[in-house]
Amino acid sequence: MKLTDLNSAQDIGANCLLVEIGSFHILIDAGMHPKRFGLEALPHLDGLPPLDKVILTHCHLDHLGALPVVLRKQPNVEVLCSPASALIARRILRNSVSVMMRQREETGVSEYPLFTYSELDRVQGVLREMPLLKPRVFRATDGSEISITLHPAGHVAGAVGCLIEHKHRRIFFTGDVLFHDQETVPAAQFPEGPVDTLIVETTHGATPPLDGVTRAGEAARMVATVNETVARGGSVLIPAFAFGRMQEMLVMLNNARRNGTLTPCPIYCSGLGLDLADYFDMMSRKKGFVNFRRSVLQELKVMPLNQRFVPPGQDLSEKGIYLLSSGMLVENTPAWRVAANLLDHAHNTLCFVGYCDPDTPGGRLLSRKRGESFAFKGLDYVARIKAHIEKFHFSGHASRDELIDFARRCDPRAIVLTHGDPPAREWVEEELAMELPSAKVTNPVPGKTYLI
Ligand SMILES: [Zn+2]
Ligand SMILES: [Zn+2]
Average pLDDT over residues 107-133: 94
* Pairwise CA distance, residues 176 & 184, whole Å: 16
CA of 15 to the centre of ligand 1 (A): 10
Q: Cα 440–443–447 angle (5° rounding)? A: 120
For residues 232-238, average pLDDT: 98
Which ligand sits closest to the CA of 29? 2
Class for the domain spanning 2-207+396-451: alpha beta
Going from the Cα of 6 to the center of ligand 2, the distance in angstroms, rounded, reads: 14
Write down the pLDDT at residue 10. 86
Confidence (pLDDT) at 326: 87
Kindly list the protein residues that place their beta carbon closer than 5 angstroms to ligand 1, a single-atom ion: 60, 176
Give me the residue spans of the domains in the chain.
2-207+396-451, 215-391
CATH topology for 215-391 is Rossmann fold (3.40.50)
Tell me, in angstroms, the distance from the centre of ligand 1 to residue 60's CA: 5
d(CA 177, ligand 1 centre) in Å: 8
Residue 298 alpha carbon to ligand 2 centre in Å: 32
Per-residue pLDDT at 368 exceeds 80: yes
Average pLDDT of the segment spanning 430-443:
98
**Nearest ligand, CA 418:** 2
From the CA of 31, which ligand is nearest? 2
Q: Looking at residues 129-148, what average pLDDT do you find?
A: 94
Residue 21 has pLDDT above 90, yes or no: yes
Crossing angle of helices 245-258 and 215-231, rounded to 10°: 70
CA of 33 to the centre of ligand 1 (A): 12
| b/e code 373-402 from CB counts within 10 Å (16+ = b) | ebebeebeeebebebbbbebebbbbbbbeb
Please give the order of strands across the beta sheet that includes 78-81: 127-129, 78-81, 53-55, 24-28, 17-21, 2-5, 449-451
CA of 387 to the centre of ligand 1 (A): 31
The pTM assigned to this predicted structure is 0.95
Q: What is the mean pLDDT of the chain?
A: 95
Q: How far is the CA of 423 from the centre of ligand 2 (A)?
A: 17
